[in-house]
A and B are shown apart, each in its own frame.
Chain A
Amino acid sequence: MTTGLSTDRRRFLIGSAVTGTIPFMPRDAASQVPEPSRSPGSYPSVDLTLHVNGQEHRVEVDPRTTLLDALRDHIGLTGVKKGCDHGQCGACTVLVEGRRELSCLTLAVSVQQREVTTIEGLAASDGGLHPMQQAFIDHDAFQCGYCTPGQILSAIGCVREGHASTPADIRESMSGNICRCAAYPNIVVAIMQARERMEG
């Protein structure tokens, strides 16, 4: 896929999400056993106010919607990635009230009063990258890049929690973020660099 196509696809998805033309589909909708007495329509959608990257977003969602799906499909923040969707891979990591959490195991309806930060919210208003983003670039800490937003947000949590003092400490603290390209050695070095700048 060329860069141009990729950009077009992304622009299409963001546009669609904003105008609400992508219906919310539960992950296992196709495999659901029909139960006439309890059709999905019997529970109305809910109006939510989500606080993301310093902005308020009003969304109308099915109560089953996870924070991950609300961010991607309703707000258009596709930087947060869906990997396993079961809390095992870390690709969906976001910061909630500054702490790293998994958006795939969080109901959007449950997180209304709390500030959520995604990869799109890290850079400064003038476009200057967060030290962790810069460190990942400086040290080539990714290959395909799919896990990278989750890795970067988790790495910020790792530093804030005080678990970035040694490579062994970082590896243990980052074990919830899987990288199929195995960029782990460079990720560890990037976190060491970013820690100095974040704390310095």
Chain B
Amino acid sequence: MRPFGYSRPSSVSNAILEVREFLAADPQSSLSFLAGGTTLLDLMKLDVVRPERIIDLNALRDELGYTRSDGSALRLGAFARMADVAADAEVIANYPVIAQSLSLAASAQLRNMASLGGNVLQRTRCPYFRDPSWSACNKRVPGSGCAAVQGANRAHAVLGTSDHCIATYPGDFAQALVALDASIVIAGPRGNRTIPFDSLHRRPDGNPHLETSLQPGEIIAEFIVPARSWMRRSLYLKIRDRQSYEFAVAAAAVALDLDGGMVRDARIALGGVAAVPWRAREAEDALRGQPLTEAVARTAARLAFAEARPQSHNAYKIELGQSTLVRALLQASSMELRP
């Protein structure tokens, strides 16, 4: 691990002051925020991430570690730990897709450590990204090429990729947030702003190293999940190579508003198959106003993968992803909701 400077501000405003000073002194130098550390320390040991300065935000847990809800929205402080939100009775009852996406991720120890903000910012598990002995990785070294295109790409994405990067977005929670139309509050050197969560992650296109729309020094402070008609009939279905403690090869976050057997509204996000948390709008449109039969679900799933682009080893994800979505939709439609 390379050397770094370290500081631990006591509040969000102090953290922003430190960021401002640090960036003013040397805009080119690299800065990393530390929360749970489960991604950052791992990637620093691998020499993939090389911050010259670490600003430890763990003192912010008191200020931004909450899980709150009222009639209109669920508000999650970005420094709440995954395990705490996953075990929250209100989240389990009224936002099941969020609780499930968190509890099906990582291991118990990692969920005790990892913050929500850090979780949505976790980096891809592409082995060529994680191993600097591979020289070609546009995400790690812009312009160096992509070793995965000609390499072992069984775990890679089929949606949202580009010729420059086919890495899969690895997380689970992000799909739940996309499906439930969440937004995030961002604190930064230029003040606070709120954006749809959907616009946080950037597709790789020609610049795979630019993964999010966060500006230098910005901190995710809060997640806001609106209470809507579809949130209670929601679930996260995660398909893995082994049953536990593994990343998804395909996953679906679905939320349904049903009127009898008819779909009034549907929200769908796909994981494990795409370069970013993937909203499947065409599939949602195909469900609206239809009875949720297996045939209708299968049509919707086909539309969700209509633009899928397989690589040499991952074409199976197109069929698997569709089956995952069909099963998730049928399971959600048969959920029994308590009044």
Contact = CB atoms under 8 A, between A and B. Distances in A.
B52 A38 contact: yes
Contacts of A106: 37, 41, 113
A10 interface: no
A85 B34 CA distance: 18
Contacts of B112: 99-101, 157
A85 to B, nearest CB: 7
A200 to B, nearest CB: 23
A83 interface: no
A51 interface: no
B245 A105 contact: no
How many B residues touch the partner, as a band?
Answer: 20 to 34
B126 to A, nearest CB: 16
B2 interface: yes
B5 A107 contact: no
A40 B83 CA distance: 36
A173 B109 contact: no
B202 interface: no
| A63, A105, A173 — most chain B CB neighbours (10 Å) | A105
B108 A154 contact: yes
Contacts of A107: 6, 34, 37, 41, 54, 56
B3 A43 contact: yes
A105 B41 contact: yes
Given A157-B108, A175-B108, 18 more contacts: A46-B6, A63-B3, A64-B3, A86-B42, A93-B109, A101-B109, A101-B112, A101-B113, A102-B110, A105-B37, A105-B41, A107-B56, A110-B34, A154-B109, A158-B108, A161-B87, A161-B108, A173-B108
Interface of B: 1-6, 8, 34, 36-38, 41-42, 45-47, 52, 54, 56, 58, 83, 87, 106-110, 112-113, 243-245
